[in-house]
Amino acid sequence: MDVRSRNNVVVTGRPEGRAVVLAHGFGCDQNLWRLVVPRLARDFRVVLFDHVGAGRSDLSAWREERYAALDGYAEDVLEICAELDLHDAVLVGHSVSAMIAVLAVNREPARFAGLVLLTPSPRYIDDEDYRGGFSEADIEELLDSLESNYLGWSAAMAPVIMGNPDRPELGEELTNSFCRTDPAIARVFARATFLSDNRADLAAVAVPTLVVECRQDVIAPPEVGAYVHAAVGGSRLVTLDATGHCPQLSAPEATGAAIAEFAAELR
């Protein structure tokens, strides 16, 4: 199968610039990056794509056995990089794609110059002295609600995830994005997302890493950002003066600047 068609790969920006690969989160597609792309495209070659099952990806490529765990998505990212012959790239992962990016970088670190983890969470469920932000019962209730009424769940949860209640158009955009996803695919991706535990993978990251969190985020609270920063050796933590889990929409200027400045500093 053609990788570019499978993942609806779009390349823009400066052809001779360092590649910055943008990986979107659950229930989203590459359109969620549109407000930061102009800032990045001035200096970099920007690579956008849709995870299989999202956006304008080839839905016929979706297989539950491949995408029931985050490893399948990480393999796709590496296949995209190989198809485009990318080297010294910066891989940017938002939300669950932050851990997908960690898995990809750990498999082929020589291909990447740097890693940006935007509102990451290696585990959503609290565990002993680790605070992920949710109890096991919370996540089971969330998944049960999603599986029984995906459209209703999307309408209720997307505005909470987005935050910024004074800007309802942001929550509406995320709701619409969720609702465009096939419910059967969303259920599998949700379980892969919310039941994952990638804490052990963080210590293996061997490339320069920027952790970007928001001042207030119900999905990835500050304790999680601090944990990721401490677990990834030599990483840098930036806290945006922004709220919600999707700063590429709610604070695109600050998000784009953080990514661009980090990428520009890499050798």
Alpha helices in 48-111 (DSSP H): 64-67, 70-83, 96-107
Contacts of 29 by beta carbon, 8 Å cutoff, 6+ apart? 50, 51, 54, 55, 56, 57, 177, 180
Tell me if residue 24 is catalytic: no
Of residues 57, 95, 235, 250, which has the active-site annotation? 95
Tell me if residue 138 is catalytic: no
Of residues 29, 76, 201, 217, which has the active-site annotation? 217
The C-alpha torsion from 133 through 137 and 138 to 144, rounded to 10°, is: 140
Tell me if residue 127 is catalytic: no
Per-residue tokens: 43: 């200096």
CA 180, 184, 189, 195 torsion-angle sign: positive
| DSSP structure string for 173-233 | HHHHHHHHS-HHHHHHHHHHHHT-B-HHHHTT--S-EEEEEEEE-SSS-HHHHHHHHHHST
Residue 138: how many other CB atoms lie within 10 Å: 15
Consecutive H or E run containing 48: strand 45-48
Of residues 24, 29, 245, 250, which has the active-site annotation? 245
User: Could you list the active site residues?
Assistant: 95, 217, 245
